[in-house]
Structure 1
Amino acid sequence: MKKILFTIVSFAVFAQVLVAQSFTVSANKRYILKEGKPFVWVGDTAWELFHRLDREEATFYLGKRAVQGFTIIQAVALAEMDGINKPNAYGEKPLIDNDPTKPNEAYFKHVDFIIDKANELGLNIGLLPTWGDKVFKDKWGTGPEILDEKNAKIYGKWIANRYKNRTNIIWVMGGDRNPRIGTSDEAIWNAMAAGVVEGLGGNDKGLLTFHPQPNKEGSSEWFHDEAWFDFNMFQTGHCRDAAVFDRIQGSYERIPIKPVIDGEPIYEDHPVCFNANENGTTNAYDVRKAIYLDVFAGAFGFTYGCHDIWQMYSPKIEAVNGPKTYWHFALDLPAAKQVKYLKKLIESRPILDRIPDQSLILENNLMAYERIQATRGNDYVFVYSVMGKSFTLQLGKISGQQCSAFWFSPRNGEVKDAGKFENKGTKVFTPPSSGYGQDWVLVVDDEQKKYARL
């Protein structure tokens, strides 16, 4: 009887360990796994989700994103839009007396609901314990600054302990603020991360990163060598045709190796460079260019964002930087419905052996607006041509004597045959169409693998 009880207890402990280690980094340090399988990060920046939506609205939002193929929702507990002074949809503020050591149970029960609802729908949460303006106030934030080294660690431990048994959370420190030189900012973030790790029960119980403002090195600039820091995250911002591939490549080559992702590329429906009067607003093509170039340059996944949705724009709230569409309707903007095609492409071939490889193409150094970016696995190649420009492919870099190829449209998932050929020498490929908005992916396979044509 004692042996049986011991076995039951041992199995229960083992099961808890499995739960706590739901997300891990792959053996080659390039990708993230969930329950041992490659996890394709298809993110949405719903920063104000916990703060501005009620439960019915949150359920509608999450359901829509699940159907559209998203896999992770990035949201903030202590939100940016005066999130500690303005209550949530139920009149609750997150903290008592704005004290990070005194969380308001009623507020966090709403957060519980949303995290659990996401899990029911097969979605994960990139959970930011706080937005960065709670560490220091700048022109974007509404403060007040409430976090220091001591209370940041206490709060980090508390929130991690609360959610340590949720299997659908990846932890994101930061929140759109870069640590300032000559201040305690880095120490505060390190303290919060230490608290999260302690609350989870150790460094191997969850994955952590940091969400910065745009910079050259992403969050690795400050935290790459920290034990808690599991993968690098960029924000490449809201100007058109940023050279996101250079930043991803720089991180990809950094030692020690850590996975990399762009956690906030250019948003759909956003004022270009924050100036709609002079530059207009972004469109689906702007978004597609950023996310495909990110992934093909070495990112393990990608994040979509929408100017109307991050702030949950509606008639009930104060707008920021001129959103145009209420969030309920913005859920169906074109790029939001097109992210499923990149997800489908990634999942259609072996993921863990895929690497960026610009040596595959002779035209490998073009500017962002006409960029041609290449990536490959052991037995397949993807080449993204931003404007449908022709390019010369160097063959013989994947397995097989014969190759088969097809064109894949990021706009609608359309497929067009590109023939069969010997896997040697070079070959020029011309996409089915070219010009503004005519982006295409060439998919080349080892013919013997008989991979599906999507």
Structure 2
Amino acid sequence: MLKVNNRRFEKDGKTFFYLADTCWSAFTNISMNDWRHYLKKRKAQGYNVIQINVLRQWDASTISDGKVWEPFELVSNDGTRVYDYSKPNEEYFNHAEEMLKVMEEYDLTPGLILLWCNYIPDTWVHGMAQATNLMPYENVAGYVEMAVKRFKKYHPIYFISGDTDFPEESKAKDYYLTAYDVVKANDAEALVSAHIAGEHTDVYPDLLEKLDFFSYQSGHGRDGQQTSYSIPKEMLKKGFNKPMVDTEVCYEFMPKFSREMDERYSAKDVRKSSWQAVLAGAFGGVTYGAHGIWSWHNSGETFPPGYPYPADFHDALNFSGAMDIAYIKEKTKDLINPQPVELDGLKALKGQNKTLVYVPAARDVDLSDLDFDFSQVKAVNLENRRIYFPEVADKLAKKLDLADDYLLILA
């Protein structure tokens, strides 16, 4: 079971770098054969957490084989899906348990989102026609208790919210506080957080103080990618001293949300966002996402309008960015007492044993602000992970002749 130790996670007495993938639609969209194939792949890549929406994802892809898993009895299916929340579908939750049993075989931790934003009143998603499924408040405690009692044996992390904002003068606060209280009453040792909408930091203060770690997302806005590092920097300035995780960096192949929607995020974009998040203070971990995995898309299926189609999941599962992000875990998990620092305008993470500096584009790097002597400066090309040894003179690491971003390792 995971525990919190200051600003990092631990498991069995060892540092646990939270390396997750977003697979929001797992319980509704994935066959067991595909599920095993997917988990085997991510486990081999070094992932240790899979983030899943317990209930139906409002913007998932359709299901090609016709099998529609519904978490509650369906009252209406005129395109809006209206549930009777007093009548859980036992078949659905049995199916979810079977999937969690397979995760257990692979020693993967479930990150279970209990209440996605479309189930909560007054959140941003309710202005969109296709988002419905509002859960009556009187059903929240019963649903959460049922889910936790079923799933606690798999030692999940719980997120009481999914992709949400925190509207004032709203019943939403009661939903979240009730969900938190019910989780802790039924699985007291479990870690609990809230998955916040992209580029946001605001959480109800009385909820924030309860959370075991801070989960934010830098998200998919082209003009908001700096929040990957500005958010943890802001939280550190406020004195937040628990782990921080960017649980939704920009998804590889996802369109860059903007007026034009004419570009998609590359593996390099994802690398940059992820490295800058971790080195700026979110060294609890980071979450990768592929546009085609989170919605579990098969070619030919429909997908909610508003931005270009995702890749087929078979292709998305092989995007190179997944391994790029896994490399962050390998280079940061053994840092002793890491502290985020700014070094010549670059994001860096200083440990007692080594310091990591992310260089997004080739340039000279002034190392004179470091207050320790280093005997070696090594550079790793993050596109292909080839090793270089830049020339260093008077604590100035000279620019490498590389077109790619790279990591300086000072030891």
TM > 0.5 fold call: yes
Mean Cα deviation higher: 291-300 or 71-80: 71-80
Shift of 1:244: 2.0
Please show how residues 204-215 of structure 1 align to structure 2 within 5 Å.
Answer: 205-215=189-199
In structure 2, relative to structure 1, the CA distance for the partners of 1:65 and 1:219 (3 Å cut) is: farther
Among 230, 234, 237, the residue aligned to 2:219: 237
Letter matched to residue 175 of structure 2: I
Match of 1:283 among 258, 261, 266: 266
| Alignment partners' CA distance in 1, 2:206 and 2:291 | 28
What is the CA distance between 1:232 and its match in structure 2? 0.8
- The DSSP-based 3-state class of the residue aligned with 1:181 is coil
Do structure 1's residue 428 and structure 2's residue 396 form an aligned pair?
Answer: yes
State the partner residue of 2:80. none
The CA deviation at 1:407 is: 0.5
Looking at structure 2, the residues matched to 86 and 417 of structure 1 have their Cα atoms a distance apart, in angstroms, of: 50
Q: Secondary structure at the match of 2:70?
A: coil
Judged with a 3 Å threshold, the aligned counterparts in structure 2 of structure 1 residues 431 and 71 are, in CA distance, closer, same or farther, namely: farther
The aligned amino acid for 1:283 is S
User: What letter is aligned with 1:374?
Assistant: A
SS in 2 for 1:265: coil
Q: Within 5 Å, which residues of 2 pair with 1:32-431?
A: 32-81=9-58, 90-96=67-73, 98-136=83-121, 137-139=126-128, 142-148=131-137, 150-167=138-155, 169-200=156-187, 202=188, 205-217=189-201, 219=203, 223-225=207-209, 227=210, 229-240=211-222, 241-273=225-257, 277-299=260-282, 300-315=284-299, 317-320=301-304, 321-347=307-333, 349-351=334-336, 353-358=337-342, 361=343, 363-364=344-345, 372-394=346-368, 397-398=371-372, 402-418=374-390, 427-431=395-399
Superposition deviation, residue 402 in structure 1: 4.9
What is the identity percentage for the equivalent residue pairs of Structure 1 and Structure 2? Answer: 23
In structure 2, the residue matched to 1:23 is 2
Q: Retained in 2: the 8 A contact 1:407–1:442? A: yes
**Counterpart Cα distance in 1 of 2:151 and 2:31:** 20
Aligned equivalents of 2:270, 2:290: Cα separation in 1: 9
Alignment-mate amino acid for residue 182 of structure 2: G
Q: Secondary structure of 2:183's match?
A: helix
**Structure-2 separation of matches of 1:35 and 1:233:** 22
Structure 2 CA distance for aligned equivalents of residues 53 and 220 of structure 1: 34
Q: Distance in 2 between matches of 1:89 and 1:25?
A: 42
Structure that is richer in helix per residue: 1
For residues 45 and 191 of structure 1, the distance between their equivalents in structure 2, rounded to whole angstroms, comes to: 25
Following superposition, the deviation at residue 379 of structure 1 comes to 2.4
SS in 1 for 2:104: helix
Paired with 2:21 and 2:255, the residues of 1 have a C-alpha distance of 18
In the alignment, structure 2 segments of 5+ residues that lack a partner are: 75-82
Tell me the secondary structure at the aligned position of residue 367 of structure 2.
Answer: strand
Q: Tell me, yes or no, if the aligned pair for 1:156 and 1:199 is still in contact at 8 Å.
A: no
CA contact (8 A) 1:51 1:89 kept: no
| Letter of the 2:148 counterpart | A
1:220-278 deviations in whole A, cap 9, x for unaligned?
A: 767222x3x11111121213343421111111233352211111111110111155x55
State the SS of the aligned residue for 2:194: strand
How far apart in 2 are the matches of 1:88 and 1:145?
Answer: 27
| Distance in 2 of aligned mates of 1:72 and 1:334 | 19
377-386 vs 317-326, which deviates more? Answer: 317-326
Deviation at residue 69 of structure 1 after TM alignment: 1.8
Deviation larger for 234-243 or 411-420 = 411-420
Counterpart residue type for residue 145 of structure 1: L
- Counterpart Cα distance in 1 of 2:63 and 2:303: 15
**Cα distance in 2, alignment partners of residues 407 and 220 from structure 1:** 42
Contact residue 42 and residue 72 of structure 1 kept, 8 A: yes
Contact persistence 1:147–1:188 (CA under 8 A): no
In 1, Cα distance between equivalents of 2:321 and 2:338: 25
Aligned to 1:14: none
Q: TM-score, normalised by structure 1?
A: 0.80
2:54 is paired with a residue whose SS is strand
Q: Is residue 2:401 matched to residue 1:440?
A: no
**Structure 1: runs of 5 or more not aligned:** 1-21, 365-371, 446-454
Q: Is the 8 A contact 1:68 1:340 kept in 2?
A: yes
Q: Give me the whole-angstrom Cα distance separating, in 2, the residues matched to 1:158 and 1:88.
A: 29
C-alpha distance in structure 2 between counterparts of 1:43 and 1:126, whole Å = 8
Q: CA RMSD in A?
A: 2.5
**By how many angstroms is 1:32 displaced?**
1.1
Flag the structure with larger Rg: 1
Partner of 1:11: none
Q: Deviations over 1:357-414 (max 9, x none)?
A: 11xx2x22xxxxxxx211111121101011122210136534xx55222111222222
TM-score, with length taken from structure 2: 0.88
Q: Which residue of 1 aligns with 2:79?
A: none
Secondary structure, aligned partner of 2:154:
coil
Structure-2 separation of matches of 1:219 and 1:430: 43
CA offsets per residue over residues 184-229 of structure 1, 9 Å max, x none? 10111111111111121x2xx110000111244254767222x3x1
